């Protein structure tokens, strides 16, 4: 890959990468850090990364960076609740219509969330998601199924809350 192709990657994938990172971390600044780090890694290996595989390389790098980010966050914020801490500082780029589902994403385990985001946002195959996350294809499917089930149950609970409101 050359410099021109690298710049094409920025143009094509930076939005999706940021969306992926933001949806997981729910914090704009940290999501931007993940995007910058991912592209820095690609630039570092620009001569050896194949242009056709650059997107997969970017998302794999971002996935690992997010895991590190979440671990650091757990370390430094002790037992503070993940969703509640980010909720105060995050500036959501999402329209209100999807806000409930995207809030529900924060309640999912990391493996379920990443697999679901890569599937629904980026349209990756189960095999490709496995390559990015290091899971087997079967594990990917199970995580996605459980993620959808959890979101469904979350929406049910929201419905119930609305029903009992006066």
Partner 1 sequence: MNINTDNYEAYLLDYMDGNLSPDETKQLQAFVAAQGLDWDELTEGLPRLEAPAVTYEGKESLKKKAVFVPLFAKIAAAAAAIALLFALFWKPSATMPQQELMAELQPRKTVLPEAEEISFPTPKATTYQIKNQPIAKNKATISHQEERTEMPLLADLNPVSGKEIHLTDDYLIANSLLPDPMIFNFEPEVAFIEEEPYYDDDWEPSLIDRGVIRLTNGRYGSIGEMIGGVFHRVSHEVATTTARVAMTAYYKADNQIEEAKERWQEKRERKDEE
102 makes contact with partner 1 (CB under 8 A): yes
Site string for partner 1, 110-139 (x = CB under 8 A): ------xx--xxx---------------x-
- Cβ contacts of residue 101 below 8 Å, gap of 6+? 151, 155
Task: Classify residue 86 by its DSSP letter.
Answer: H
67 makes contact with partner 1 (CB under 8 A): no
14 makes contact with partner 1 (CB under 8 A): yes
What stretches of the chain show up as alpha helix (H) in DSSP? 3-25, 28-44, 54-76, 82-89, 99-105, 110-120, 126-133, 137-164
CA 83 to chain centre: 14
39 makes contact with partner 1 (CB under 8 A): yes
**Using CB under 8 A as the criterion, which residues of the chain lie in contact with partner 1 when the complex forms?**
3, 6-7, 10-11, 14-19, 22, 32, 35-36, 39-40, 43-47, 93-95, 98, 101-102, 105, 116-117, 120-122, 138, 141-142, 144-146, 148-149, 151-152, 155
């Amino acid at each position: 890959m050359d410099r021109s192709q690298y710049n094409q990657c920025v143009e094509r994938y930076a939005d999706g990468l940021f969306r992926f990172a933001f949806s997981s971390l729910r914090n704009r600044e940290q999501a931007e850090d993940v995007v910058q780090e991912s592209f820095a890694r690609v630039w570092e290996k620009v001569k050896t990364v194949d242009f056709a595989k650059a997107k997969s390389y970017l998302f794999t790098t971002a996935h690992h960076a997010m895991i590190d980010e979440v671990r650091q966050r757990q370390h430094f914020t002790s037992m503070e609740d993940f969703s509640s801490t980010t909720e105060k500082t995050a500036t959501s780029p999402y329209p209100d219509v999807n806000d409930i589902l995207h809030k529900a994403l924060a309640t999912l385990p990391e493996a379920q969330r990443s697999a679901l985001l890569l599937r629904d946002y980026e349209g990756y195959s189960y095999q490709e998601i496995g390559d990015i996350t290091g899971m087997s294809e079967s594990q990917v499917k199970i995580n996605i199924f459980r993620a959808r089930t959890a979101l469904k149950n979350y929406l049910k609970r929201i419905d119930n809350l609305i029903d009992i409101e006066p």
